[in-house]
């Protein structure tokens, strides 16, 4: 399932692909990215839980304020998660994208 997660991005990039071709490209690109995808997904689940707890803590302050904060948090989390998964697609779909990303990460960790 995780290895097929980028099929929709391949299909959006090239609508002439068949579903099986998009899934095959996704499986090839995501071969070694299972741990990265799972950790990215888990991080957004944890962020969503914290956002829900924060909104529940605001409930005594007023319903309108709580709904406004919940809506803003939802928009921010949805935008951030979509951007993160799109970035993952760009990384795994480009030639040497993962190698370049790991090299940049190692440089940032040393600094």
Please give the full DSSP string across 51-102, using - where no structure is assigned.
HHHHHHHHGGG-HHHHHHHHHHHHHHHHHHHHHHHHHHHHHHHSTTHHHHHH
Mean pLDDT confidence for 12-29 = 89
The whole-number pLDDT of residue 30 equals 84
Tokens of 97: 């994208």
Largest Cα–Cα distance of the chain, in whole Å? 53
**Whether residue 14 has pLDDT greater than 80:** yes
The whole-number pLDDT of residue 50 equals 93
Question: What is the spatial distance between Cα 51 and Cα 53, in angstroms, rounded to a whole number?
Answer: 5
Full-prediction pTM beyond 0.85? no
Mean pLDDT rounded to a whole number for the chain: 87
Q: Where are the domains of the chain?
A: 1-31, 32-110
- Confidence band for 111, pLDDT divided at 50, 70 and 90: low
pLDDT tens figures, 76-106: 999 999 888 888 888 888 877 777 777 777 7
């Amino acid at each position: 399932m995780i290895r097929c997660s980028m099929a929709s991005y391949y299909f959006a990039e090239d609508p002439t692909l068949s579903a099986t071709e998009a899934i095959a490209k996704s499986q090839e690109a995501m071969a070694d990215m299972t741990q990265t995808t799972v950790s990215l997904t888990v991080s957004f689940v944890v962020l969503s839980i914290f956002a829900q707890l924060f909104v529940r803590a605001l409930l005594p302050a007023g319903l309108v304020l709580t709904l406004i904060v919940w809506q803003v948090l939802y928009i921010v989390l949805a935008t951030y998660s979509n951007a993160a998964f799109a970035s993952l697609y760009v990384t795994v779909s480009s030639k040497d994208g993962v190698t370049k990303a790991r090299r940049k990460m190692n440089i940032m960790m040393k600094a």
